[in-house]
Amino acid sequence: MSALDRLKKSFGWLPVGRVPDISATELNVRLAGNNPVQIVDVRSGAEWRRSHIPGAVSVPIHALKDRLSFLPLDAQQPIIAICLSAHRSIPAVRLLQAQGFENAVQLKGGMLAWWSQHYPTERASW
């Protein structure tokens, strides 16, 4: 096991290394079709309230571990972790995978990639 792998195992929150990802275009196609996906947005609450992908659940990365068991997530369905630039979503994907969400991936490029394609977003209504 490499030094980086040992660090990732000990400190799953490290935002370095690679995790599986999905492009903004592929996610948009999946959301428009009949393939259910679950979206966990790990940005801050303020970031999520300003603009998020419709249907996303907001759980800031620092709270994900404690709140994960309370989220209505299906471990058998794909789950997409999203942050601003695909930095915070790396440890989110690792945590999700460690908790049995084998189909967890991150949005490649994060919300920056989503916005650059002008895909649908919404604002919190509260």
Query: Phi first, then psi: what are they for 44, rounded to 5°?
Result: -65, 160
Confidence of residue 16 (pLDDT cuts 50, 70, 90): low
Lowest mean pLDDT among 9-13, 75-79, 95-99: 9-13
Mean pLDDT within 109-123: 97
Among 69, 70, 37, residue whose Cα is nearest residue 56: 37
Point out the catalytic residue in the list 39, 40, 42, 83: 83
Question: What is the domain partition of the chain in residue ranges?
Answer: 20-116
**Of residues 54, 101, 59, the one with CA closest to residue 78:** 101
Query: What integer pLDDT is reported at residue 11 of this predicted model?
Result: 47
Judged by DSSP in three states, 103 sits in coil
The reply to whether 121 belongs to the active site is: no
CATH T-level assignment (fold) for domain 20-116: Oxidized Rhodanese; domain 1 (3.40.250)
